[in-house]
Structure formats: C-alpha cells, structure tokens
Amino acid sequence: MINRTKGDTEGAGLRIGIVRSRWNAEITEALLDGALRALAACSVREEDIVVMEVPGALEIPLAAQELATHGFDAIIAVGCVMKGDTAHFDHVGRIANDGIAQVARDYELPVTCSILTTYDLDQARARSGLDEANVGSQAALTAIETANLLRFLRSK
C-alpha cells in the first residue's frame, strides 16, 4: 500500500514570519491583510506572527533570510511588481522570486511567495481582494500546510 500524506492547515503553535514590501502599498497591504485573515482562521496566534516591512521586492529575500535564522516555521513573502515602460518589471520579479526560492532551499523552510507580477493595477486588485483569490491568503495557507507536512516528515 502506498503511503500518502499532506499537511493540514491547523496553525496553532506555528511561528510565522511575513516580509511585506511597501512598494505598491495599496496592493501589498491588501495581500498582508489576506495573509493575516488566513493565519487567524487557522488558529495562528498574533504573538506568533512577525511582520517585517521592506522598501521593495528586491529587499524581500534578505529580510526572509534573516527571519529564517530566528526559528520561524514558515515565511510569507508579500509584494507587488507591476509592468511599466521598461523591462525592470521582469528583472525585479525574477530576482525576488529566485532569492525567495534560495532562502527556502538554504534553510529547508517553507517560504511562500505572494509577490504579484501584474501588467496593471486592475490585475493586482483582482488578486488582492477580500475573497479566496487573495494571493496573500493562499500563501498563508500554503505556508501552514507545508510547515505541518515538514514537521510530520521530520518526526519520522
């Protein structure tokens, strides 16, 4: 018989770090709100959540790396990069995502990404609203589930 397992979304006892970019603040604040709503719904206590704010998406990986050294069970990256008139959008999104993935690998820790890369404000607003489509909320649920899965696997 094949053993199958997955994490659950019970967050009691988990310590969660969040790194939020202040660039495109309307969107990143909505993503942060979505993440915090999801964490609360999963019983993560407020005192077990730390939110660090950084200027932009490029600073997120370094802040996430610092959180990774302080015993968090998972980290959520929150940011928004919108397309402008230059290729800057492509580079910032790629560098930020590559850095987040590297932190996850280096620290063997769930680092979930809710950095939106959108072509315009309407797309960003659609992904940061009050419903299930809020990418911050989705990243929080993924962080909890993955942290619980890793705990389970590491206990065997």
Helix (H) or strand (E) holding 75: strand 74-82
Mean of all residue pLDDT scores within the chain: 92
pLDDT (average), residues 119-138? 90
pLDDT (average), residues 89-103? 90
**How many angstroms separate the Cα of 151 from the Cα of each of 1, 2, 71, 103?**
23, 20, 13, 18
pLDDT (average), residues 6-23? 92
Catalytically active residues, by annotation: 88
Whether the predicted pLDDT of 88 surpasses 80: no
Counting Cα atoms < 13 Å in the Cβ hemisphere of 122 gives 0
Candidate CATH numbers 3.40.50.960, 1.10.3720.10, 3.40.449.10, 3.40.190.10; the one for domain 16-148: 3.40.50.960
Whether the predicted pLDDT of 20 surpasses 90: yes
Predicted local confidence at residue 3, as pLDDT: 79
Contact 88, 123 (CB under 8 A): no
What is the pLDDT confidence band of residue 33, given thresholds at 50, 70 and 90?
Answer: very high
Q: What is the DSSP letter of 118?
A: E
Predicted local confidence at residue 7, as pLDDT: 77
Whether the predicted pLDDT of 134 surpasses 80: yes
Does residue 153 sit in helix, strand or coil? helix
**How many angstroms separate the Cα of 139 from the Cα of each of 7, 77, 120, 135?**
14, 8, 21, 6
Predicted local confidence at residue 4, as pLDDT: 77
Share of the chain above pLDDT 90, in %: 78
Whether the predicted pLDDT of 5 surpasses 90: no
For the chain, the structural domain boundaries read 16-148
Predicted local confidence at residue 130, as pLDDT: 80
